[in-house]
Amino acid sequence: MQPLTDLERQALLDLAREARRRAYAPYSNYPVGAALRTKSGRLFTGCNVENAAYPHGMCAERVAIFKAVSEGEREFEALAVVTPNGGSPCGGCRQVMAEFGLDMRVLIGDGEGRLLRETTVADLLPGAFTPRDLPR
């Protein structure tokens, strides 16, 4: 996989920051935005959507991934996540990301859209349970 250019990184962070503005987070007051780039070059965004029945909310990262999958995409190149303080994706999101490739790049940014960390799904979720672990 080719490295991302600085311009590509910032474009993804900017899309995630814009998606963050649409977050519905009245309970946590922790709006999150995500932007996903597929290997085919398509872009999908997501924001967190909370619910008064807490377990029924959805994280921004999964919204972006599920949107991409619902549109026929299965191969992802990079995911940018923007939170108020540069928080890392939760365990559930890491597991969903692992489903589609441990080599996907993950950009973590703050509320100003500054890149704080660049990593991979493999680094975020060592020892990931993947489709290869299931018997055929």
pLDDT above 90 coverage of the chain, percent:
95
- Residue 136 banded pLDDT, cuts 50, 70, 90: confident
61 is a catalytic site residue: yes
Buried b or exposed e, range 69-91, using 16+ CB within 10 angstroms: eeeebeebbbbbbbbeebeebee
Q: What is the rounded average pLDDT for all residues in the chain?
A: 96
Side-chain half-sphere exposure of 64, counting CA atoms within 13 A: 36
Helix, strand, or coil (residue 126): coil
Residue in 8, 18, 61, 71 annotated catalytic: 61
pLDDT at 3: 82
Domain 6-125 has CATH 2.40.50.140: no
pLDDT at 1: 67
- Per residue in 60-118, pLDDT (tens digit) is 999 999 999 999 999 999 999 999 999 999 999 999 999 999 999 999 999 999 999 99
Query: What is the rounded distance in angstroms from the CA atom of residue 136 to the CA atom of residue 125?
Result: 23
pTM of the model: 0.95
Query: What is the rounded distance in angstroms from the CA atom of residue 31 to the CA atom of residue 1?
Result: 30
